[in-house]
């Protein structure tokens, strides 16, 4: 009889957030597959859990999935543990889950800590909600990605690194408009947890003065509350025509008026 693959949600900062069930399962399985064994060791030692571990990350996911599937088929129980949060969501694991399910192996998700859910709750986000994962690192891809989601009628949640936050906020303003509602959640569950509530423009102004530090989760509100553009507002000169259409929509302007202001900005 095959074993069980447990997907264990790990704390996103505060070690006390591991559930009693998760701690019990981690202490019972034959093997714990960790995104980073060194990172997970701190958690396991905190709870006095001493079980064999194996690294399972993006670079070795294909080979490790085969090895783990063989052990599951042999009847061993395996736990998949991400560095922080729930496995598979913006973390390795999808390949292993699909292979296990296809092989008839029982897959059991253990609910628990999630940066996305914590940020959405703390932001008071409205449904529908879309989890976008990590913001694309390259500027062109990032703007196209934002355009794809610009008309979403509810809340968007995404993750961003501190060294790219300023660039992402600039693109958010260019594509979605400066008055788009935005909550920036920083260092969730940790000592310096912070929720910055306002708009894209107010977030840019804040982080221009306070250099970003820590891990960030962005909760972007629906675009139907954007204020009309003031008489002197101009779109950024570097926008292309598709991005200009998004800027016009966000600012309540016709395409012709937005194009006129864009030409003035370029001159």
Digitized pLDDT (tens) for each residue of the chain, 267 residues in all: 899 999 999 999 999 999 999 999 999 999 999 989 999 999 999 999 999 999 999 888 888 999 999 999 999 999 999 999 999 988 889 999 999 999 999 999 999 999 999 999 999 998 899 999 999 999 999 999 999 998 898 999 999 999 999 999 999 999 999 999 999 999 999 999 999 999 999 999 999 999 999 999 999 998 754 445 665 677 787 777 777 777 776 676 777 778 888 788 776
Q: What does the domain layout of the chain look like in residue ranges? A: 4-113, 116-227
Q: Does residue 232 contact residue 207 with C-beta atoms inside 8 Å?
A: no
Fold (topology level) of 4-113 = Cobalt-precorrin-4 Transmethylase; domain 1 (3.40.1010)
State residue 250's pLDDT score: 67
State residue 261's pLDDT score: 82
Buried/exposed code over 58-85 (b: 16+ C-beta within 10 A; e: otherwise): eeeeeebbeebbebbeeebbbbbbbbbb
State residue 228's pLDDT score: 54
**CATH code linked to domain 116-227:** 3.30.950.10
**CA-to-CA dists, residue 186 to 72, 116, 121, 123, 191, angstroms:** 38, 12, 14, 12, 10
0.85 exceeded by pTM: no
- Partners of residue 130 on adjacent β-strands: 156
State residue 226's pLDDT score: 46
Find the length of the chain.
267
pLDDT in tens, 15-67: 999 999 999 999 999 999 998 999 999 999 999 999 999 999 988 888 899 99
């Amino acid at each position: 009889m095959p074993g069980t693959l447990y997907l264990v949600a790990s704390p996103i900062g505060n070690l006390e957030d591991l559930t009693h069930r998760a701690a019990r399962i981690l202490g019972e399985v034959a093997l714990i597959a960790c995104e980073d064994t060194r990172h997970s060791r701190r958690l396991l030692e905190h709870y006095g859990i001493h079980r064999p571990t194996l690294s399972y990350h993006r670079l070795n996911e294909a080979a490790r999935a085969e090895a783990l599937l063989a052990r599951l088929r042999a009847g061993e129980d395996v736990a998949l543990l991400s560095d922080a949060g729930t496995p598979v969501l913006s973390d390795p694991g999808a390949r292993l889950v699909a292979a296990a399910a296809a092989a008839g192996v029982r897959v059991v998700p253990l609910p628990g800590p999630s940066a996305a859910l914590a940020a959405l709750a703390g932001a008071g986000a409205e449904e529908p909600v879309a989890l976008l994962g990590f913001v694309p690192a390259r500027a062109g891809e990032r703007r196209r990605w934002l355009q794809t989601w610009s008309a979403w009628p509810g809340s968007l949640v995404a993750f961003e690194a501190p060294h790219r936050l300023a660039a992402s906020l600039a693109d958010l303003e260019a594509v979605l408009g400066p008055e788009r509602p935005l909550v920036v959640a920083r260092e969730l569950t940790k000592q310096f947890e912070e929720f910055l509530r306002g708009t894209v423009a107010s977030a840019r102004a804040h982080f221009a003065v306070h250099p970003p530090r820590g891990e960030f989760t962005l909760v972007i509100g629906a675009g139907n509350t954007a204020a009309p553009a003031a008489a002197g507002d101009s779109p950024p000169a570097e926008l292309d025509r598709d991005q200009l259409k998004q800027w016009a929509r966000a600012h309540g302007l016709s395409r012709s008026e937005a194009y006129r202001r864009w030409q003035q900005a370029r001159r």
